Amino acid sequence: MDFLTKKKVENNGEIPQYYVEDHPPIIDKEIWEAVQLEMERRRAFAEKHQIQKIDYASVDHPFAGRIICGNSGKAYGKKVWNSTDKNLRRVVWRCNSKYKIKGKLDYGSRHIDDKLLYSHLLTLSM
């Protein structure tokens, strides 16, 4: 069984990926190569800024992993404030490591209102 030519591709190490040569492609080779370049660009960006994870955003959580704390280099996470009172409830984004790193509190990092993020996103895409 040697009809597949497997070429190993550089990855972050989590998932092995292959571009299969002698097979009808699901996506264009150009697009696939562009994706590899983009992944490499993000990996290099994360390394340069000492960010551990920047790429787990989804349709439901478009900001997940995209807001990076300037103090600790960790991703911001979604938090709900006053979740018991509907009128006071606020959704904010805050550094995930704000209260986690012992002896090195993230005093400078600030929360961001979820509505503000969405309004900025809509402004940018118009």
Token pair in block for residue 94: 């805050």
CA distance 74 to 96: 7
CA 13-98-47 angle, 5° bins: 30
> Smallest distance from the beta carbon of 74 to Zn ion, in angstroms?
5
Count of alpha carbons within 13 angstroms of residue 75, beta-carbon side: 14
Nearest-approach distance from CB 112 to Zn ion, in angstroms = 12
Q: Provide the binding-site residues for Zn ion, judged by CB under 5 A.
A: 69, 71-72, 95, 106, 109
Tell me whether residue 84 or residue 105 sits nearer to Zn ion (CB atom).
105
Residue 46: DSSP 8-state: H
Residue 51 or 69 having the CB closest to Zn ion: 69
* Closer residue to Zn ion (CB): 17 or 73: 73
**Smallest gap from residue 106 Cβ to Zn ion (A):** 4
Q: In the structure encoding, which two tokens stand for residue 95, read together? A: 């550094």
Nearer to Zn ion, 2 or 67 (CB): 67
Taking the complex as a whole, the smallest distance from the CB of residue 95 to Zn ion amounts, in Å, to: 3
73 torsion bin: left (phi>0), alpha (psi -120 to 50), beta (else):
left
Rounded-to-integer distance, Cα 94 and Cα 76, Å: 5
